[in-house]
C-alpha cells in the first residue's frame, strides 16, 4: 500500500484542481470560462488515465509491460 501513496496523493491533488477549475468556470464569464472548460477537460482526461493505470497496476496488469510485443529477428 505504501508504494501507491504517491499515486493516491496525485489523484487527490487532481480532484482539488478540478474543483478549483469548476469554481473558476462558475465565477467568470466569456472566454475565460471557455478556457477553464478546456483546462478542466485536459485535467479530467489525465486524471482518468492515471486512475485506470493505478487500477491496472493494483490488479497486477502493467500497461507499460512490453512482454506482449512481438520479437523481431535481427
Q: What is the pTM of this model?
A: 0.75
Tell me, yes or no, whether 35 lies in a domain: yes
With respect to residue 1, please indicate whether it lies within any of the assigned structural domains. no
The CA radius of gyration of the chain, in Å to the nearest whole number, is: 18
Range of the domain at 28: 8-58
- pLDDT for the residue numbered 57: 84
Q: Please, how many CA atoms are within 13 Å of residue 50, restricted to the half-sphere of its CB?
A: 17
CA–CA dist 43, 2 (Å, integer): 25
Specify whether the CB–CB gap between 37 and 48 falls below 8 A: no
What is the domain count for the chain? 1
Residue 10 to residues 30, 46, 60, 63, Cα–Cα distance (Å): 30, 11, 20, 18
The answer to whether residue 69 is domain-embedded is no
Q: How many CB atoms are closer than 10 A to CB 33? A: 14
- 21 CB neighbour count, 10 Å cutoff: 20
pLDDT, tens only, 2-53: 788 888 999 999 999 999 999 999 999 999 999 999 999 999 999 999 999 8
- Residue range 37-49, pLDDT digits in tens: 999 999 999 999 9
Amino acid at each position: 500500500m505504501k508504494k501507491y501513496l504517491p499515486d493516491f496523493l496525485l489523484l487527490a491533488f487532481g480532484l482539488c484542481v478540478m474543483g478549483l477549475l469548476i469554481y473558476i468556470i462558475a465565477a467568470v464569464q466569456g472566454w475565460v470560462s471557455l478556457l477553464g472548460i478546456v483546462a478542466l477537460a485536459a485535467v479530467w482526461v489525465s486524471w482518468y488515465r492515471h486512475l485506470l493505470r493505478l487500477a491496472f497496476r493494483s490488479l497486477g496488469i502493467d500497461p507499460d509491460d512490453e512482454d506482449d510485443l512481438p520479437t523481431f529477428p535481427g
